[in-house]
Amino acid sequence: MIHSLFLINHSGDIFLEKHWKSVISHSVCDYFFEAKEKAVDPEDVPPVLQTPHHYLITVHRGKLFFLSVVQTEVPPLFVIEFLHRVADTFQDYFGECSESVIKDNVVTVYELLEEMLDNGFPLATESNVLKELIRPPTILRSVVNTLTGSSNVGDTLPTGQLSTIPWRRADVKYTNNEAYFDVIEEIDAILDKSGTTVFAEIQALCFSSHNPRLLDDVSFHPCVRFKRWESERTLSFIPPDGNFTLMNYHVSSQNPVAIPVYVKQSISFFESGPCGRLDITIGPKQTMGKTVEALMVKIHMPKAVLSANLTATQGNYTYDLPNKVLVWDIGKLNPQKLPNLKGILSLQAGAPKPEDNPSLNIDLRIQQVAISGLKVSRLEMFGEKYKPFKGVKYVTKAGKFQVRT
């Protein structure tokens, strides 16, 4: 299956390699670099490349490329999913998944990779299991380690490996047990020029719910018992220790979705003279009585736009010239005084007028409400004598929320 893994940074240096079978020279990566040269954006590098003797499957995460070499037939998603899992594990262990962090912890990374794959086949990918095998570095532990010379490698077999509940260690004991459920819903929508909804659906990362009939499509953490869900629409599970995503659900475009804000915009470029005009106003629409927070508008400007001279009635804006991104950070939306951004865009002299208008990407957050109307109606815990602390939090966010102009 997975033969080798190369970690490559943005400038094209291979800074880590690991082989699970015979060693493969890192010259195979040249095919990848070739493809990368061709692509405008790192996102555009094809995830699967064919070379004379190998196949390269690449994942782009946090400015890093995880490039795996495969020699034989293997489901590409299998590899992609695994590489993302590797990146998730790094994130989980070191707080972020970046070149410097990986370089600093190269031995731990190597040990992790060793445990995660055996002969190219995933062995232990569950973070709880891994943490028992190889303890994550903390400041305290590194101090202790240097003083005592002890190691951060566990010497017992994680019990999870052996039980049918690989996501939880046996005998986890805490003085207080707390269960927090965050229901995070994201609205994906495309609004067209006139403000009509072209497409909208709700996606959610959720950490428990009850009787959500309208949910179209759900995916679960392996701890959730499918049968119970199918028969009773109850989520029954033995939770892993720590943070985890219990379920993802999806309220599809066939159900009406409340769009929390409306956008009035006009962006135009003049035929004569190197400039254009921009005017955007945002107002609340269906917010269920809550305030819209962390409102932000991002506009990918056409290449010709050189600078923006705008005035915002609320918040402030920045224009990132190299990437041609205009960001308008509004913050809280005040229904009485609608935020507005108005001004002139200056274009490169001599460049033809951009023929299309950029689309707006909107980011927002509404606390204490799940826009789909989903509620956690009941939360029961079994098998524990004492009463654990339970809490549920709802957040609605904008996911891929785009306004076409």
Partner 1 sequence: MLDSNKDSLKLEAMKRIVAMIARGKNASDLFPAVVKNVACKNIEVKKLVYVYLVRYAEEQQDLALLSISTFQRGLKDPNQLIRASALRVLSSIRVTIIVPIMMLAIKEAASDMSPYVRKTAAHAIPKLYSLDPEQKDQLIEVIEKLLADKTTLVAGSVVMAFEEVCPERIDLIHKNYRKLCNLLIDVEEWGQVVIINMLTRYARTQFLNPNMNESLLEEGNDKTFYGSDDDEDEEEEEEKKSEAPMPKRKPYVMDPDHRLLLRNTKPLLQSRNAAVVMAVAQLYFHLAPKVEVGVIAKALVRLLRSHSEVQYVVLQNVASMTIKRRGMFEPYLKSFYIRSTDPTQIKVLKLEVLTNLANETNISTILREFQTYIKSMDKDFVAATIQAIGRCATNIGEVRDTCLNGLVQLLSNRDELVVAESVVVIKKLLQMQPEKHSDIIKHMAKLTDNIQVPMARASILWLIGEYCEHVPKIAPDVLRKMAKSFTNEEDIVKLQIINLAAKLYLTNSKQTKLLTQYVLNLAKYDQNYDIRDRARFIRQLIVPTEKSGALSKYAKKLFLALKPAPVLESPFKDRDHFQLGSLSHLLNAKAGGYQELPDWPEAAPDPSVRNVEVKDSVQEVRTTGEGRISLLGEWREVFTLLERVATLTSVPEWTKCSSREKRKEKKVEKPFYSDSEGESGPTESADSESDSASGSEIGSGVVGSVSGTASEESEEGSESEEEEEEEEEDEKDKKMTMKKELKKPVQESESEQSSEEEEERKHERKKSKARKSDSESESDEDEDSESESSQSESEDSESEAEVKKKKKAAQSKPPSKPVKKESKKEMSLLDLDDFEPAPSPQVTPLNSFLSNSLATDLEGLSLSDAVLSPATLSPCSALKSYELLHRIRGEGLSVEYCFSRQPFSPDANMVAVQMQFTNNATSETKNLHMEEVKLQSGMRVKEFPEIELLPAGETATAVMGIDFCDSTQAANFQLCTHTRKFFVSIQPPVGELMRPVFLTENEFKKEQGQLMGMNELSEKLTLDAECRNEHAIVQRVTAAANLSRVPCGSDRECRFAGRTVTSGSLVLATVATKEEAAAQLTVNCEKMVIGTMLVKDVLLALTQ
Considering only residues 107-136, where is the footprint of partner 1 by CB under 8 A? 107, 109-111, 114, 118-119, 121-123, 125
**Closest distance between partner 1 and the C-beta of residue 4, in Å?**
11
**Closest to partner 1 by CB, 219 or 286:** 219
Calpha distance 37→42 (Å, rounded): 9
CB 249 within 8 A of CB 212: yes
Residue 49 DSSP label: E
Nearest-angstrom CA–CA distance, 110 and 132: 16
Q: How many helices (H) and strands (E) does the chain have?
A: 8, 20
Of residues 1-20, those binding partner 1 (CB under 8 A)? 1, 14-19
Residues 6+ away with beta carbon under 8 Å from 162: none
Give whichever of 78 and 262 is closer to partner 1, judged by the CB atom.
78
Please report the sign of the dihedral spanned by the C-alpha atoms of residue 74, residue 76, residue 82, residue 87.
positive
| 41 three-class SS | coil
Name the minimum Å distance from CB 289 to partner 1: 28
Count of residues near partner 1 by CB under 8 A: 105
Q: Is the dihedral of CA 364, 370, 371, 372 positive or negative?
A: positive
Minimum distance of partner 1 from residue 311's CB (angstroms): 26
In this structure, what is the dihedral angle of CA atoms 131, 137, 139, 143, given to the nearest 10 degrees?
A: 100
In the bound state with partner 1, the residue whose beta carbon lies nearer, of 50 and 100, is 50
Report the site for partner 1 in 306-365 (rule: CB under 8 A): 352, 354-359, 361
With CB under 8 A as the contact rule, the residue among 31, 33, 220, 262 that binds partner 1 is 220
Closest to partner 1 by CB, 26 or 365: 26
- Select 314 or 326, whichever has its Cβ closest to partner 1: 326
**Is residue 271 part of the contact set for partner 1 (CB under 8 A)?**
no
DSSP string, 131-183: HHHBPPP-HHHHHHHHHH---SB--S--HHHHSS-TTS-TT---SS-EEEEEE
The correct pick among 10, 63, 84, 332 for binding partner 1 (CB under 8 A) is 84
Which residues, numbered 164-193, are part of the site for partner 1 (CB under 8 A)? 164, 166, 170-171, 188, 190, 192
Nearer to partner 1, 205 or 275 (CB): 205
141: contact with partner 1 by CB under 8 A: no
Give me the least distance between CB of 93 and partner 1, in Å please.
16
Interface with partner 1 in residues 30-69 (CB under 8 A)? 40-41, 43-44, 46-48, 50, 55, 58-61
In the complex, least distance from residue 291 CB atom to partner 1, rounded to whole angstroms: 27
Residue with tokens 């994906």: 188
The span from the CA of 224 to the CA of 206, in Å, is 13
Per rule CB under 8 A, is residue 77 in the interface with partner 1?
yes
226, 321, 381, 388: residue in contact with partner 1 (rule CB under 8 A): 226
When binding is defined by CB under 8 A, the residue of 222, 273, 388, 391 that contacts partner 1 is 222
Beta-strand pair 217-220/325-331: unpaired
Buried b (16+ CB within 10 A) or exposed e, 281-294: ebebeebeeeebeb
